[in-house]
A and B are shown apart, each in its own frame.
Chain A
Amino acid sequence: MKEKSLHKRILADRLFKGMVVVLSFVSVTPMFLILFFIIRNGISVIDWSFLVSLPKPMGESGGGISNALVGSVILMVIASLISLPLGILAGIYLSEYRKARFAYFSRLSLEILQGIPSIVIGIIAYVWIVVPMGSFSALSGGVALGMMMLPVIVMSTEETLKLIPDPLKEASLALGVPYPRTILKVILPAGLSGIVTGVLLGIARIAGETAPLLFTAFGSPFMGLNIFKPVNSLPLLVFNYATSPYPEWHTLAWGASFVLIVFILSLNIIAKLVTRRWKVQF
């Protein structure tokens, strides 16, 4: 009879559990290391002048990240303007035409789109917009980011709308409300929390993207408000400063990283709150 001593088996069981717990907590440590260093090195730089001044020329100390903040906002606005209308409509399509053959291909395309490396999207935006336009621009950067945000919006819209029970739609239609109105004024508002969550998460995803901006938004030492011209952005600034040899610039990069992480974490937290508080329960 195969009698592996009970003792040994219990020991193995305890060891396993211990290992699982230890490994899980070890995986958690990088997060804390990252946060710790960003906070420790970054917080000393953050003050009002840091947030509102422009970067200084190379090698000079001082300066701030104002143009990167504004540029990031501009890029996010452009990306949202591009991806929201299209994304929500596509999400509606997918949730309304669930069984359609075509919807299957649409969904597949979304999966692929979501997995495309961001640098490839950057190349596409360069070829489609920068070259024909003859200049680097916030617009091309926004388009690249919009392409990355699109799958998030579509999928979250679809998921949200799928959860809304059909009777709601049918009741509205039965009352004589036209189909477009039903969708736009009854169904969509019911799923608003999920859509807003999707938007927040989409923005959180593109807020930190650098690769596609390398050859689209291009960067700038000045404050840029013109969407047809280059702009700076927070992740670009972090990249340029971090890979430079100047300790002053490194400190600025820590500060910028701090701002960026706080922003992204806030978006994630707000998204969670939106889901919890606002969700229309059926």
Chain B
Amino acid sequence: MHVDAGKITVLSAKGAAGGYAKHIYQSRSFLTESAFRRILYLSGISVLLLLSAIFLSLFIASGPAIKQQGLAFLIGRVWDPVAGRFGALPFLVGTLLTSFLALAIAIIFSLAISIFLGEYFRSGIASSFVKSVVELLAGVPSVIYGFWGLFLLVPGVRFVEQQFGVLPYGVGILSAALILSVMIIPYAASLGREVIGLVPSDLKEAAYSLGATRFEVVRKVVLPYARSGILAGVLLSLGRALGETMAVTMVIGNSNALPRSIFAPANTMASIIANEFTEATGKVYLASLVEIALVLFVVTAIINIAGKIIIIRMSVER
């Protein structure tokens, strides 16, 4: 039915109660309401479906490895493709060492930035400057961090190792942790800044009126109040550190042996996949790598959910 705009306005003004005009309008519309709502609903489901599909695929593809090795996979110390023995412990250790070391370093700086932006310099040039730079840090691609690290950080670490009398690899867990720490600072910092900025001023004013110095207010009022938010930020940073691949692969030294010190070369779960996935010949070999990916998936999912729950609980409390 061909109806032009002018007529419609007149008609809908006349039959605004619904009936006639709505009928004309709907037949001109390209989509009925129920169809549209169904499309929306499907889009909403699709995200959930996607996630489940990812999990299932990972699980199925790692089937052969799980069947053959079971739990011994996670505590096995030897990753020997020639002998067909796949123990992922070296990579678990590598991942934990690099991530937690990076976290330890990053927390100090993230906290400083959060306090800087949330407490001392809430606006102004210094604030915009630091804020922008921290945001940019988050935007730099991993491969560029790795490139920069390989050429600038690794020789530095090599120099330090020579002073210490350790084998001057340059690459290794320490270098990887250092680069990781720079990469994860923005995550804890931005969340921390938000929560610190949201501390109610009357709490702080009360403390000031009792004669507390700024430092004491921060230490005894602000930080405890913002505790959960800071924790959530830390968890987010940890989640990011665990899954980081490129920068780590480029500076960690790529050794499949269990690392003995922070100067030793190692591999993380992400970097071993990057190194060996395209060439894993043999069903169990490939399945073992996918199983590592599955573990990564599950661990990062848990950490992200934990962080999210804390954030939600925080906003509910408020």
How many residues on A have C-beta within 8 angstroms of the other chain's C-beta atoms?
88
Chain B nearest CB: distance from A281 CB in Å? 20
Q: Contact: A253 with B147, CB < 8 Å?
A: yes
Q: A115-B304, A117-B243 are in contact. Are A17 and B214 (CB under 8 A)?
A: yes
A168 on interface, CB distance cutoff 8 Å: no
How many angstroms from the CA of A37 to the CA of B147 in the assembled complex?
11
How many angstroms from the CA of A24 to the CA of B32 in the assembled complex?
55
How many angstroms from the CA of A126 to the CA of B113 in the assembled complex?
40
Q: A211-B245, A211-B246 are in contact. Are A238 and B58 (CB under 8 A)?
A: no
A239 on interface, CB distance cutoff 8 Å: yes
Using Cβ atoms and an 8 Å threshold, which residues of chain A touch B61?
123, 127
Stretch at the interface among B68-76, B134-142, B257-265: B134-142
Q: Which of B107-160 contact A (CB under 8 A)?
A: 108-110, 112-113, 115-117, 120, 129-130, 133-137, 139-148, 150-152
Q: Which of A96-150 contact B (CB under 8 A)?
A: 96-97, 102-103, 105-106, 108-121, 123-124, 126-128, 147, 150
Q: Which of B26-46 contact A (CB under 8 A)?
A: 26, 29-33, 35-37, 39-41, 43-46
B230 on interface, CB distance cutoff 8 Å: no
Contact flags (1/0) for B47-67 with A, using CB distance below 8 Å? 110110010011001000000
How many angstroms from the CA of A238 to the CA of B148 in the assembled complex?
11
Q: Contact: A239 with B143, CB < 8 Å?
A: yes
How many angstroms from the CA of A108 to the CA of B311 in the assembled complex?
13
Q: Contact: B141 with A207, CB < 8 Å?
A: yes
Q: Contact: B44 with A97, CB < 8 Å?
A: yes
Using Cβ atoms and an 8 Å threshold, which residues of chain B touch A154?
47
What DSSP secondary structure best describes chain B's contact surface? helix
Q: Which of A32, A105, A123 contacts B58 (CB 8 A)?
A: A123
Interface centre among B47, B48, B218 (most CB of A within 10 A): B47
Chain B nearest CB: distance from A75 CB in Å? 14
Chain A nearest CB: distance from B218 CB in Å? 7
Q: Contact: B147 with A238, CB < 8 Å?
A: yes
B310 on interface, CB distance cutoff 8 Å: no
Using Cβ atoms and an 8 Å threshold, which residues of chain A touch B214?
13, 16-17
Q: Contact: A120 with B36, CB < 8 Å?
A: no
Q: Contact: A117 with B22, CB < 8 Å?
A: no
Q: Contact: A17 with B141, CB < 8 Å?
A: no
Q: Contact: B305 with A24, CB < 8 Å?
A: no
Using Cβ atoms and an 8 Å threshold, which residues of chain A touch B12?
175-176
Q: Which of A25, A112, A180, A257 contacts B304 (CB 8 A)?
A: A112
Contact flags (1/0) for B67-90 with A, using CB distance below 8 Å? 000000000000000000000000
Contact flags (1/0) for B280-318 with A, using CB distance below 8 Å? 000000000010010011001101110010000000000
What DSSP secondary structure best describes chain A's contact surface? helix
How many angstroms from the CA of A235 to the CA of B140 in the assembled complex?
11
Q: Contact: A27 with B43, CB < 8 Å?
A: no
Residue of A nearest to B246 (CB): A210
Q: Report the tally of A-B residue pairs with Cβ distances under 8 A.
A: 254
B239 on interface, CB distance cutoff 8 Å: yes
Chain B nearest CB: distance from A14 CB in Å? 8
B216 on interface, CB distance cutoff 8 Å: yes
How many angstroms from the CA of A194 to the CA of B100 in the assembled complex?
36
Using Cβ atoms and an 8 Å threshold, which residues of chain A touch B293?
119-120, 123
Q: A124-B54, A208-B141, A238-B144 are in contact. Are A119 and B274 (CB under 8 A)?
A: yes
Using Cβ atoms and an 8 Å threshold, which residues of chain B touch A268?
135-136, 139
Q: Contact: A115 with B301, CB < 8 Å?
A: yes
Q: Contact: A12 with B136, CB < 8 Å?
A: no
Residue of A nearest to B136 (CB): A31
A20 on interface, CB distance cutoff 8 Å: yes
Chain A nearest CB: distance from B2 CB in Å? 18
Interface centre among A121, A124, A264 (most CB of B within 10 A): A124
A contact residues vs B (CB 8 Å cutoff):
9-10, 12-13, 15-17, 19-21, 23-28, 30-34, 37-38, 86, 89-90, 92-94, 96-97, 102-103, 105-106, 108-121, 123-124, 126-128, 147, 150, 154, 175-181, 183, 204-205, 207-211, 214-215, 235, 238-239, 242-243, 250, 253-254, 257, 260-261, 264-265, 268
Q: 9 additional contacts, CB 8 Å, given A119-B274, A265-B136?
A: A23-B109, A28-B133, A37-B151, A89-B40, A113-B54, A119-B273, A178-B32, A179-B37, A260-B141
B contact residues vs A (CB 8 Å cutoff):
12, 16, 18, 21-22, 25-26, 29-33, 35-37, 39-41, 43-48, 50-51, 54, 57-58, 61, 108-110, 112-113, 115-117, 120, 129-130, 133-137, 139-148, 150-152, 182, 185, 189, 213-216, 218, 239-240, 242-246, 250, 270, 273-274, 277-278, 290, 293, 296-297, 300-301, 303-305, 308
Instruction: Provide a sorted-by-A list of 28 A–B residue pairs whose CB atoms are within 8 angstroms.
Output: A9-B216, A10-B213, A15-B215, A17-B215, A20-B116, A21-B120, A34-B145, A90-B43, A102-B44, A111-B305, A117-B297, A118-B245, A120-B54, A121-B54, A123-B277, A124-B54, A128-B57, A150-B50, A154-B47, A176-B12, A178-B32, A207-B141, A210-B143, A239-B146, A239-B250, A243-B150, A254-B147, A264-B141
